[in-house]
């Protein structure tokens, strides 16, 4: 059996890795160039010290300095305010006032910036490019500006338009943790379910022929590129962040390496398509924006399908039926998805990606959340510690899935 160990003396090396240790990880776990760049940047900066939260005035000055280098003509920033939600990014809303001709215009915008290190090391550039590409196909905020390498902000950041809406009914007490298990209620769920499936279908059948990306590699149809890149990303992160060896993860890795699925169609994959990550108008019951594209990539649609149908994202309805993301029975979800896309749902590929997703969640909760909180790298240490507590549930899910295939 292949082990995830990199034969390093102890786990303390990961708090301040050397160039040689980082290079060994890059060689052992090849993945997409932008993913490699992001993970390498994380490890190169890990020893720079803990996160220091800026106050609102400091963050506003970063915005003003950044926009001064991007905008022509007079402008001013007002109404700066922190946004809550999520566990991995710093978010601030503000209003941008610009003078055009003889009049002033106003626009509400949102800054989305990395902390010193997050539970998911992801690229703001690919998030910016993906949102820009699918705008008009699915509802998303308009991406406006990006600081790719954190030249003006402490860390990489993007700015996009503000979109109004809610993530869950104002009257519900469910879905408090990142929207998980949200109960929309019978009337609401029926109206949202059609949109939920339709937008996923539109995303997965998006015409890539005219899209140009600098930060997303395109896997080859007929190969296992898509699955291998994602698996290597997760394996590398596990080695970088874990506090101890876990035999279950070795078993999962060994099985996945022997069952990498072949890609039949390249899709835009959202990566976190679920309740909690879309906004909707509570009166019109219309989805207004899909958010949180940080896990987005080009790859296998089954990655999204397996992620969306995870048991922790949904709940059981009044008749005892399990509802995907609290919206639609699972069998109905697959049936309507196939009808909308003309693409089949392959049960074996779905099983692989369910196991990979469970593996990734263990990496994020047991390893990355632990390491980030231990080193004080985020503004959300308390939340990350709570997230780490979910690792037992994720590990049990991974164990159950492996029992079914071994």
Summarised one tens digit per residue, pLDDT across range 171-224 is: 888 877 778 889 999 989 999 999 999 999 999 999 999 899 999 999 999 999
Q: Which sequence spans correspond to the domains of the chain?
A: 11-405
pLDDT band at 5 (very low <50, low <70, confident <90, very high): very low
Q: Is 308 left (phi over 0), alpha (psi -120 to 50) or beta?
A: alpha
CATH superfamily of 11-405: Aminoglycoside phosphotransferase (APH), C-terminal lobe (3.90.1200.10)
pLDDT of residue 337 exceeding 50: yes
Q: In sequence order, what DSSP letters do the residues of 45-114 get, joined into one string?
A: TGGG-------HHHHHHHHHHHHHTT--S-EEEEEEEEE---SS-EEEEEEEEEEETTEEEEEEEEEEE-
Separation of alpha carbons 279 and 275, rounded Å: 9
Angle at 383 between CA 382 and CA 389, to 5 degrees: 100
Q: How many CB atoms lie within 10 A of CB 80?
A: 15
Whether residue 391 contacts residue 366, with contact meaning beta carbons closer than 8 Å, is answered with yes
CA distances from 387 to 10, 121, 130, 364, 380 (A): 25, 16, 27, 9, 10
CA distances from 259 to 136, 228, 254, 269, 395 (A): 36, 10, 9, 21, 20
Q: What is the pTM of this model?
A: 0.93
Packed helices 225-241 and 247-257: angle between N→C axes, nearest 10 degrees: 160
Q: What is the pLDDT of residues 15-53, one digit of tens each?
A: 999 999 999 999 999 999 999 999 999 999 998 877 778
Instruction: Give the model's pLDDT for residue 180.
Output: 82
Mean pLDDT (whole number) for 61-67:
98
Separation of alpha carbons 342 and 94, rounded Å: 42
For residue 298, give the nearest of 239, 235, 230, 359 by alpha carbon: 230
pLDDT band at 369 (very low <50, low <70, confident <90, very high): confident
Whether residue 261 contacts residue 348, with contact meaning beta carbons closer than 8 Å, is answered with yes
Q: What is the pLDDT of residues 108-141, one digit of tens each?
A: 999 999 888 888 899 999 999 999 999 999 999 9
Instruction: Give the model's pLDDT for residue 10.
Output: 55
Q: With pLDDT > 90 as the criterion, what percentage of the chain qualifies? A: 79
Instruction: Give the model's pLDDT for residue 3.
Output: 47
Q: In the chain, what are the helix, strand and coil shares in percent, each to the nearest 5?
A: 45, 15, 40
Under DSSP, the state recorded for 169 is -
Lowest mean pLDDT among 46-60, 149-163, 204-218, 330-344: 46-60
CA distances from 228 to 22, 62, 313 (A): 20, 39, 25
Separation of alpha carbons 157 and 146, rounded Å: 6
């Amino acid at each position: 059996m292949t082990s995830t160990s990199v034969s390093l003396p102890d786990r303390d090396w990961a708090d301040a890795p050397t160039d040689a240790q980082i290079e060994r990880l890059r060689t052992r776990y090849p993945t997409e160039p932008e993913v490699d760049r992001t993970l390498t940047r994380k490890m190169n900066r890990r020893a720079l010290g803990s996160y220091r939260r800026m106050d609102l005035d400091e963050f506003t000055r970063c915005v003003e300095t950044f926009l001064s280098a991007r905008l022509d003509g007079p402008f001013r920033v007002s109404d700066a305010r922190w946004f809550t939600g999520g566990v991995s990014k710093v978010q601030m809303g503000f209003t941008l006032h610009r003078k055009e001709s003889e009049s002033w215009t106003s626009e509400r915008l949102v800054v989305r910036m990395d902390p010193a290190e997050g539970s998911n090391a992801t690229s703001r550039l690919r998030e910016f490019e993906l949102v820009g590409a699918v705008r008009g196909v699915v509802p998303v905020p308009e991406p406006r500006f990006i600081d790719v390498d954190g030249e003006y902000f402490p860390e990489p950041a993007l700015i996009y338009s503000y979109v109004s809406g809610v993530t869950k009914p104002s009257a519900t007490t469910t879905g408090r943790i990142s929207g998980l298990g949200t109960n929309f209620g019978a009337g609401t769920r029926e109206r949202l379910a059609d949109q939920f499936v339709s937008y996923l279908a539109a995303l997965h059948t998006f015409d890539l022929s005219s899209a140009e990306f600098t930060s997303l590699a395109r896997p080859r149809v007929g190969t296992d590129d898509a699955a291998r890149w994602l698996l290597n990303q997760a394996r590398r992160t596990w080695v970088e962040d874990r506090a101890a060896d876990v035999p279950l993860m070795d078993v999962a890795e060994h099985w996945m390496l022997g069952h990498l699925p072949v890609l039949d169609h390249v899709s835009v994959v959202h990566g976190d398509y679920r309740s909690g990550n879309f906004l909707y108008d509570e009166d019109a019951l219309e989805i207004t924006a899909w958010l949180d594209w940080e896990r987005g990539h080009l790859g296998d649609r089954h990655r999204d399908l397996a992620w969306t149908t995870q048991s922790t994202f949904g709940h059981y309805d009044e008749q005892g039926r399990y509802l995907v993301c609290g919206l639609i029975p699972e069998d109905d979800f697959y049936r309507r998805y196939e009808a909308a896309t003309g693409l089949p749902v392959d049960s074996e590929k779905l099983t692989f990606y369910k196991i990979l997703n469970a593996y990734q969640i263990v990496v994020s909760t047991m390893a990355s959340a632990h390491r980030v909180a231990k080193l004080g790298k985020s503004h959300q240490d308390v939340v990350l510690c709570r997230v780490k507590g979910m690792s037992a549930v994720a590990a049990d899910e991974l164990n159950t899935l492996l029992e079914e295939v071994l």
